[in-house]
Structure 1
Amino acid sequence: MRISLSLSILLGFGFGATAFAEGVDLGPRPAYLVSQMNPGPLRDKLAACIGNPAKPSLFSISHRGAPLQFPEHTEEGYRAAALMGAGILECDVTFTADKELVCRHSQNDLHTTTNILATDLAAKCTSGFKPASGGDPASAECRTSDISLAEFRSLKGKMDSADKQAQSVEDYMNGTASWRTELYGATGTLMTHAESIALFKDLGVKFTPELKSPKIDMPHDGFSQADYAQKLIDEYKQAGIPPEDVFAQSFRLDDVLYWIENEPEFGKQAVFLDGRRDINPQDPSTFSPSMQELKEMGVNYIAPPLFVLLSVEDGKIVPSAYAKAAKEAGLDLITWTLERSGPLNTGGGWYYQTVSDVIKSDGDMLEVVDVLAGDVGVKGIFSDWPATTSFYASCMGLK
């Protein structure tokens, strides 16, 4: 396995990977967020927890590592997430030209998440770099399926970004949002899915791999969607990981149903990522299949974006009809993604769209977490900076 100790050395730690699970370092951000909250009982409760020792929590789910500041799906980002107390880490899973599973958010994001365009491998990309011209933005498309595993290993992860006005590859690769950072952007160590399993096991955390929808037609060279879904599970079985420690995810309901039918011990914790855009969170008639139908199919976990679970009544954030229907059907809820919207002083954008009228500052993020945890009853929240959810969970005594 190609698991280095680069982040451990960077942060001055002198112990092995398993020690991350024994001591949580939340850093200054939770205290900053509390300082931005409106006065009230919740702020007082959270303020009293600032500086207290924190523990890892299954409520705190790392989204792609710690991509608020670290390149996503890299060893360095995963180690940072574990250090911040995330009890569950995510490897988004796709595959290379030789059908090897690797951690990437999409099969076609190498041009924005790695340095591939600055290497000789750019010649293998589905679409090479094209500068902005007239009204057309700069573009490129590089897929994991364009290259072999050996070639994938030669790349470095970078902050997910692209300057759509760029005239050069260098400028195109340098489009990181102002509220993120390039401070840790030079050391992104890419990982295979199997390597992520070994690392997460050493870190003492649980696993939530997401089977990403292929960008190429399936079956691919005899590799079917079922083969793909099965290979993901097989790599946990080969590593001796108990099924109860794995929360396999997919936006494709058929993938979840495949696991339920063919790998029932893993399928009972499979997560249906609900990205359906035709759902009205306040109108249960738009939930097709319905929550009860999903439950009858064997689905136990459903995970929509956080705005789907929230509404506003009398100026207060409350659970949506979607959240109530899921609870009534006996479905466990997980949601995404905290710390992915930048500063919230303009309403929070896409992730907060159903509650944007009452989102005024970064401190409102913790108000949202409190409603999701206490009123909606989510089992966990994906975050781009797990210190926030770990802090809340430790303060409130969540496991």
Structure 2
Amino acid sequence: MLRPIVLAFVLGTPALADPITTGPRPLYLIDQMAPGPLRDKLLSCAGDPVQRTLFSIGHRGAPLQFPEHTVESNMAAARMGAGILECDVTFTSDKELVCRHAQNDLHTTTNILATDLAANCTAGFVPADGDAKASAECRTSDITLAEFRTLTGKMDAANTNARTVEEYMDGTAGWRTDLYAADGGDLMTHAESIALFKSLGAKFTPELKSPAVDMPYDGFTQEDYAQKLIDEYKSADIPASDVWAQSFNLDDVLYWIRAEPEFGAQAVYLDGSYRIDGWNPDAPETWTHQMDDLKAMGVNYIAPPTWVLMTLDGGKIVPTRYAIDARAAGIDIITWTMERSGPLQDGGGWYYQSIKDVINSDGVMYEVIDVLAQDVGVKGIFSDWPATISYYASCMGLE
């Protein structure tokens, strides 16, 4: 039996009747801020209604508290004012597109290991033994779409010290919660995500995920894969102006620019070159591509992680050369991901690594967001809890 919220978007009825609300977290963060003009400005908006804004992007929905890429997670993100929602796109064994962050993450994001489908997994559960950590690998390409539909979502986590499947599946970080995952979350196909996001009044940013299988896969080429993603928007009569298709694979972006120029105009290059040894956001000679070269290829949007865009100058957070050069080349910037690092008392972790010396409390979060918005000039910020970004964007009058 379909749950009521799933039935609503399947039937094409509006799924969101509630006003946009951000809850207590934005003001909690503002309360932690040092006194100053930014804190005063944000406090002055406390009684104002929050508007939906394209600046606020739901990263896999709202996975700080809801199982990612589920109906429930995206409903929560939309109710917090996210104007753009994300489906990370991969495919099943029968080449149907579904929403998962990776083709090989079913063992950490769903209940597959507790079902009979565990027998289909690329690598079954292996318990921890001495220094060897517990492991498993379950891919969407291990199962059909019909089988995928029998699964439910869970918080993305694994206990690698586990001796049993139950222990392995019970690894949610203490600063997240399983409160909204007790009954599992409803998984979606990519086409279903389009219907849901449209019913929520949101726009779309699908990411074409790198396959875990060799391509071509049973005759399904990388270009077939990239084209099928676009075709599902065209079949749903979604205008290209409402879609920001993403990929870490520059060839995917260039394919969309060439084969689907209306969609390609807003295609987002997720620049992963920061992974290269010696890469430095303030040293263009270490970059794989210069910004002018990307612009000449037709790339209009680029999306690095937050730390790539910020550095410190005398203890002040300022834009990096990477950010400055992108804007000078006429490339718009989107960035990821706020609310993904847990509490910020000890430097904030990976997403704040370039400015860790000034990250000492959750109160710095809005300072970071303000630098990204006002000094770097990003067009949107992904967040695992979109209320934080929605509050800021609405208060500052951002679209």
TM-score (norm 1): 0.96
How far off its partner does 1:5 sit?
A: 1.4
CA deviation string 1:43-76 (max 9, x = no partner): 1111111232100000000000000000000000
For residue 47 of structure 2, the aligned residue among 39, 44, 51 is 51
Residue identity matched to 1:197: I
1:263 equivalenced with 2:278 (yes/no): no
How far off its partner does 1:2 sit?
A: 6.2
CA distance in 1, matches of 2:310, 2:228: 36
The answer to whether the Cα contact below 8 Å between 1:6 and 1:76 also exists between their aligned partners in 2 is: no
Aligned to 1:199: 196
Aligned to 1:336: 336
For residue 231 of structure 2, the aligned residue among 214, 231, 234 is 234
The answer to whether the Cα contact below 8 Å between 2:110 and 2:151 also exists between their aligned partners in 1 is: yes
Alignment of 1:87-106 (within 5 A): 87-106=83-102
Q: Aligned with 1:197: secondary structure?
A: helix
Residue identity matched to 1:17: A
How far off its partner does 1:7 sit?
A: 11
Q: What residue ranges of structure 1 are gaps of 5+ in the alignment? A: 9-14
TM-score (norm 2): 0.96
Q: Aligned with 1:360: secondary structure?
A: coil
How far off its partner does 1:286 sit?
A: 1.5
1:42 equivalenced with 2:57 (yes/no): no
Q: Aligned with 1:352: secondary structure?
A: helix
CA deviation string 1:93-137 (max 9, x = no partner): 000000000000000000000000000000000000000112110
Residue identity matched to 1:58: L
Q: Aligned with 1:60: secondary structure?
A: strand
How far off its partner does 1:4 sit?
A: 3.8
CA distance in 1, matches of 2:47, 2:162: 44
Q: Aligned with 1:236: secondary structure?
A: helix
Aligned to 1:12: none
Residue identity matched to 2:209: K
CA distance in 2, matches of 1:78, 1:94: 18
Aligned to 1:250: 247
1:389 equivalenced with 2:386 (yes/no): no
CA distance in 1, matches of 2:388, 2:222: 36
Aligned to 2:348: 348
RMSD over aligned CA atoms reads 1.4
Aligned residue-pair number: 391
What percent identity do the matched residue pairs reach? Answer: 70
The answer to whether the Cα contact below 8 Å between 1:206 and 1:245 also exists between their aligned partners in 2 is: yes
Aligned to 1:135: 131
CA distance in 1, matches of 2:332, 2:30: 28
CA distance in 2, matches of 1:386, 1:156: 23
Aligned to 1:272: 269
1:295 equivalenced with 2:272 (yes/no): no
The answer to whether the Cα contact below 8 Å between 1:3 and 1:75 also exists between their aligned partners in 2 is: no
How far off its partner does 1:285 sit?
A: 1.3
Aligned to 2:113: 117
The answer to whether the Cα contact below 8 Å between 1:3 and 1:199 also exists between their aligned partners in 2 is: no
The answer to whether the Cα contact below 8 Å between 2:16 and 2:79 also exists between their aligned partners in 1 is: no
Alignment of 1:4-15 (within 5 A): 4-5=4-5
Aligned to 1:372: 372
Q: What residue ranges of structure 2 are gaps of 5+ in the alignment? A: none
